[in-house]
Amino acid sequence: MFQGLMVAIVLAPAALMAALAGSVRLVHGPTSRRWRLFQVVSVAALAFTALSLVAGATRVWWPGGVAATPLSLVLALLVQLLGTVIGAFSARYLDGEVRQRRYIGALAAVLAGVHLLLLADHWLLLIAAWAAVGVALERLLCFYPDRPFALLAAHKKRLADRLADVLLLGAGALAWSETGSGALSALWEHIAQHGLGLPLQASAVLLVLAVTLRTALLPVHGWLIQVMEAPTPVSALLHAGVVNLGGFVLIRFAPMLEQASAARALLLLLGLVTAVLAGMVMLTRISIKVKLAWSTVAQMGFMLLECALGLYTLAALHVIGHSLYKAHAFLSASAVVRETRLQALHPVAAPSTASVLLAPVLTASAVLLLAALPAVAAWPWWWSLVLALAWAPLLWLPAAHAGRAARAAQLLFGLAAVVGLTLAAMAAHRLPFGLQDAPDHQLGGIALTGMALLYLFQVLLQKRPRALSRWRRWSYAGFYLDEAYTRLALFLWPARWARASAR
């Protein structure tokens, strides 16, 4: 009886949002009434999600294909919170726009699909929920039908989603034939008892490829950049709550990935290449929203890299942190534009050579010292070096036009920031997500080499920009990967998006 009540509470947000998606057309009167209805249902769903998190501290299974875990409940609460905020923002942002009824229904359907995916314990339910999220999201991305780039991006995303659906169906079929059940819980039990045979190894590879298509990794990333023509709250929803789902799915399948060496190697390659190349492109862009979009591509590569390395707890923290950051960044994009214009009035001095060389040494020393404290170690030593390279620019000091006191204060502030970030990551690593890390030290060395190359590119871009003029042009163009994928997408699935835009 208690399990039945728990499942009812957990499913309440998805049920309420699905009911709103189906009934919003029946609401008559001004558009504001529909937005008020959306907010009422969103707040109620948020309350139900919070209650489920408080009451469901342990894993709850249900034969109907639903699994409530601590991580899924936390992410469900986060998604519903962001959905409530985005709904309130959208009501003001779209004031006076036509087709708001369609927008409200699609937004509710996306939130319902995300909730269902977070709780899915069956292959078919997971695939159907992920596909439903993509279909509903497409209606939001194409909210302005007269913007051709958004229509082209939606078409490219549609092709990637359908290929991902086929790959997921193949992965599920292989796992089902091996275990005799489509339930994910049965898959975990089979792996624990019999290990990972060849069919499950192939299933893990197909799963990695499907997640790559869903999370906009290179070279299928272009649609994520081009949908910047969609409304700003849609961009916030996409970058904060939808693209991150790939990371959650990989964390969900951690018992399979731990023993699938081929799948982990492929995931490492795709994630590392995406993180490094997208990070290079992001450094050359000027447009705020486009730079944020490339930042998301790089972060997705970094998140999948963490999953490939077996650092599932850090990947879960990355999902949460990235969701909150990107939601704030997009919803406050106007303020970011103003700050950027003010900063452009004051040219930034190039960092000194000494600070560029000593910064990774100081950050590595700080992170390794904190990680070596008794009963505090949360990750392997090579990950401490990866974090040190990522945080080293905080200690860059200007080469000129700064007194000793100002430089010393900036250095102390940078060191304090590094120490604070390290302690926060260690504290968050202790949260009871119910995850078990399985770090791979060989893959960790490869990841460290890739991050060192990215840091070297940052240094050369600051110190020798003319020496990288050709590479900078290639980076600004995204290495022309999207052009190749666009031609392939239109060849495989021709579309009349330009004519539809003209109409």
DSSP string, 446-484: HHHHHHHHHHHHHHHHHH-TGGGHHHHHHHHTGGGHHHH
Tell whether 331 and 201 lie within a shared domain: yes
- Report the pLDDT averaged over residues 381-392: 90
Claim to verify: residue 284 and residue 294 sit in the same structural domain: yes
Query: What is residue 374's predicted lDDT score, i.e. its pLDDT?
Result: 65
> What's the average model confidence in pLDDT over 9-22?
42
- As a whole number of angstroms, the distance between CA 370 and CA 196 comes to 37
Nearest residue to 214 (alpha-carbon basis) of 275, 102, 297: 297
pLDDT at position 264, please? Answer: 93
Structure tokens at 235: 């961009």
Q: Kindly state whether residues 189 and 293 are assigned to the same domain.
A: yes
Q: Are 53 and 77 contacting, i.e. CB atoms less than 8 angstroms apart?
A: yes
pLDDT tens per residue, range 169-207: 999 999 999 998 888 888 989 998 888 889 999 999 999
Q: Percent of the chain having pLDDT more than 90?
A: 23
For residue 340, name the pLDDT band (cuts at 50, 70, 90): low
**Which pLDDT belongs to residue 256?**
92
Residues 295 and 260 in one domain: yes
* 60, 86, 121 - which closes a domain: 121
Picking from 212, 235, 208, the residue whose alpha carbon sits closest to that of residue 224 is: 235
Average pLDDT over residues 373-400: 81
State how far the Cα of 143 lies from the Cα of 141, in Å rounded to an integer.
Answer: 6
Per-residue pLDDT at 166 exceeds 90: yes
293 occurs within a structural domain: yes
Residues 368 and 492 grouped into a single domain: no
**Whole-number pLDDT of residue 227:** 81
| pLDDT of 77 over the 80 cut | yes
By mean pLDDT, which of 3-17, 158-172, 238-252, 483-497 is the weakest?
3-17
372-378: long-range pairs with CB below 8 Å, 24+: 376/426, 378/313, 378/425, 378/426, 378/429, 378/430
**pLDDT given for residue 262 in this prediction:** 92
CA 159, CA 27: separation in Å to the nearest integer?
34
Residue 223 in any domain: the answer is: yes
Q: Comparing 161 with 376, which gets the higher pLDDT? A: 161
Number of domains in the chain: 3
pLDDT at 3 over 50: no
Q: Which pLDDT does position 339 carry in this prediction? A: 62
**One domain for residues 86 and 154:** no
Cis, peptide link before residue 219, omega less than 30° from 0:
yes
Check whether residue 255 and residue 393 sit in a common domain: no
Query: pLDDT value at position 331?
Result: 82
Same domain, 239 and 156: yes
Res. 231: pLDDT tops 70: yes
Residue 301 has pLDDT above 90, yes or no: yes
The answer to whether residue 22 scores a pLDDT higher than 60 is no
Burial 185-221 (b: 16+ CB within 10 A, else e): bbbbebbeeeebeebbbbbbbbbbbbbbbbbbbbbbb
Q: Report the pLDDT value the prediction gives residue 402, as an integer from 0 to 100.
A: 58
3-state secondary structure string across 256-275? HHCCCHHHHHHHHHHHHHHH
Of 50-54, 131-135, 185-189, 265-269, the poorest mean pLDDT is in 50-54
- The stretch 466-488 carries a mean pLDDT of 79
Would you say residue 415 lies in a domain?
yes
412 vs 462: which has the higher pLDDT: 412
| pLDDT above 90 (res 58) | no
Cα–Cα distance measured from residue 433 to residue 363, given in angstroms and rounded to the nearest whole number: 28
Q: 303 and 273, same structural domain?
A: yes
- The answer to whether 107 and 61 have CB atoms below 8 angstroms apart is no
Instruction: Please determine, for residue 29, whether its predicted confidence score (pLDDT) is greater than 50.
Output: no
Most confident range (mean pLDDT) of 25-39, 184-198, 386-400, 424-438 is 184-198
Task: State which amino acid sits at residue 425.
Answer: A
- In terms of residues, how long is the chain? 503
Structure tokens at 265: 């190697």
Q: Cα separation of 312 and 431, whole Å?
A: 12
Same domain, 215 and 73: no
* Position 24 pLDDT exceeds 60: no
pLDDT band at 162 (very low <50, low <70, confident <90, very high): very high
**Residues 7, 68 contacting (CB under 8 angstroms):** yes
Domain that holds residue 77: 1-121
pLDDT band, very low/low/confident/very high, at 126 (cuts 50, 70, 90): very high
User: Is there a domain that residue 140 lies in?
Assistant: no
Considering the domain boundaries, does residue 135 fall inside one? no
- Is residue 427 pLDDT above 80, yes or no? yes
Same structural domain, 252 and 156:
yes
Q: Per-residue pLDDT averaged across 333-354, rounded?
A: 64
Q: What are 122's strand-pairing partners?
A: 183
Task: Taking each helix axis as running N to C, give the angle between helix 441-463 and helix 381-391, from 0 to 180 degrees, rounded to the nearest 10.
Answer: 20
Contact 200, 206 (CB under 8 A): no
Answer for the pair 305, 275: CB distance below 8 angstroms, yes or no: yes
Angle at CA of residue 445, ends 444 and 450, nearest 5°: 95
